[in-house]
Each structure stands twice: as structure tokens, then as C-alpha cells.
Structure 1
Amino acid sequence: MIAANARIGVARSAYFPSLILTGNGGVEAATLADLFKWSSRAFLLGPLAGTALTVPIFDGGRRKGNLERANAIYEEDVALYRQKVLTAFREVEDNLSELRILRDQIKTQGEAVDASSKAQRISSVQYREGAINYLDVIDAQRTVLAAQRAAVQLAGAQAIATVNLVRALGGGWGNATSPDESTQSDKDALTP
């Protein structure tokens, strides 16, 4: 966006006259023997050499078209920037709300795991006492395992939502090192 803004300034500058100063350098001597002496050097700068003042008069609308094009590119870049910012805000908000919902679901699922575990313990005691058959105990164990599986799935979804939130905030692990690598690099830095 900054570059597009700078291009607008360049396009506007085409409306103004430009002054070009050039210089010439070389050697001049009266005789061939004096040509390579230090005193034979000659420099011409500024108005004595090639000074050129160019004034734009008529270009068939090229400057105006260039300025309009630069303004259009700038406006397009501003719109793309705004779209990216709004997309980033939406992603952050979506991931924050997903984490909040998952936190509530994990709490509820944890309560379900506790309740099914308690029911499984009760059914085991009832089986030992002879009040129920073993099929009821197996059914209670299956219920506990299903509740635990759902809790693990929710924890995985929470981890994915956390990673998505970090990514939406612009974070990443591209330069992260494993603990073994960082320990080795610390040891290498300490050895002379």
C-alpha cells in the first residue's frame, strides 16, 4: 500500500518540469606528449556542460492516465488491505468463540465421564453382591469408554482451535527448536 502511494507521487511529478544536470570528464592537451599528465584532466559540470530542462507540454493524456492508474492501484491495495484485516478479525473471533464453546463442552463431558465412572463402580459392586448380571457391568464399562473417547475428541478439537487461533493472530512455530536441539546449542555455545 505504501509503494502504491509512492507511485501516485511519481505520477504527479510527471506534471512538473525536470532539470537534468550532466557532466563530462576527460582529458585535453595541446600536444600528444601532454595527454597523459595530471594537469591534462578536464571536467565540465552544470550549466557549462549538458544541462537540460524539460517541460511537459502535450502527451496525449498519458500523464493523466498514469496518475489515474496509480490512484486506482492504490485504492485497490487499500481495499485488499481492509479485506485482509477484516478476515483476520473474523478468524480470531471465530476461534475465540470456538474455544469458549469447547471449554463449556469439555466441562460438561468431564462431568459425564465422572458420572459414568461412578455408575460403572456401582454396577461392579452390585455384580459382586449378586444383584445384577455381568452384561450390565459390561454395558456400564462401555458407557465410560464412550464418554472418555468423546472427552479426548473434544480435547483434540480444542488443541486444533488453539493452533488456529495462534495462526490467525500471526504466530507460528517455524523457527522453534526441539528441547534436545536447544540443549545441544546451549552446550555448543558454552564450549570454548
Structure 2
Amino acid sequence: MNTLNDISLVARAAECGDRTAFNELVVRYQSPIRRFFLNQTAGDVPLSDDLAQDTFIKAYLHLSHFRGASAFSTWLYRIAYNVFYDHIRRHQPTEDLSASSIPQRKAETSDEGLSLDLYAALNLLTPHERTCITLQLIEGQSIDRIAQITGMVQGTVKSHLFRGKEKMATYLKQNGYDRKR
């Protein structure tokens, strides 16, 4: 995405009240933000859509707080991250599940089966591990950007990535996905 174009759109939306400019930002970032939430919620489409909508509402209401110290997308992901953790705090106690506590099942051959297994593997992770994995492997964010988005230090991000990848690999291997094919 063009950072200067994003800043121009933010300026038009914040200073001039140009809703069309903000709409362009929504159109540009709605798919990545919805995908982020879809992975955080293990495929819960209605919840993902609600969280994405909350993210864009908060972004619109606080647009004047965007200072341009980071990319607009980083700022927006930070809002999405906070929206997700606010949701967790309000609705769900979280536990760190081990791979042995999740029922095992045979891998399905269809793409749908793989998606279900990936969501199940993501559910094994702590919320911080899932966020780091989603941002790096699915959204393509660098460790530095993940640290900016989450407010974690880079070493902590790396630890969450390492542990999350290990848990997911163990689960997927136990369910018939092996690299030796």
C-alpha cells in the first residue's frame, strides 16, 4: 500500500471530514483486517465482521490521533489488536491449551478439512501466540511491525512465534500432516 496516499487520505478524512477519503481506507484495509479477525476467532465470520466494524469505527473516531509515526496499516492493526483483546477480556476466559488436551482427528483430504485443522491448531495457541502467528504467517508482517502493533518487544514476539509454530506443527503432525509426503 502507498503510505503517502494513506497519509493523504487520513489527512483529508481527519481535517476536512471527507468521508469518501475514509471510505477509501476502509475499502483498502477491510479484507486484511477481517482476515486477521477470522484467524483470531477460528473462523467465526459474524464475530470477525463485528470486530472489524468496531475497529473501523474506533479508527474513524480517533483519526485525529494518528500522528504518522508508523504506517497507517500498523496503527489500524494496533486498533484491531486492542479491539480483539478487549473482546476476550469481556467475553472469554483464556487458557493455555496443550496439544494433548485437544481431541485428535484424521486429516481430511479437502481444502475445507485443512482449513478446519488450521483453525483447530490456531485454537491451541495462547491469544498472544495466535496474534503473532496470524500477523506473520498470514498477514506477512515483519517481527518489527508485529512488535509495533502489539506493543511487545521483539524478543517476546519471537518467543511467541517459536512456541506457536511448535504447537501448531505438533498438532498438524499428529493429525496426518507430515512434511515427508
User: TM-score when scaled to structure 1?
Assistant: 0.22
Q: Which has the higher strand share?
A: 1
| Bigger radius of gyration among the two | 1
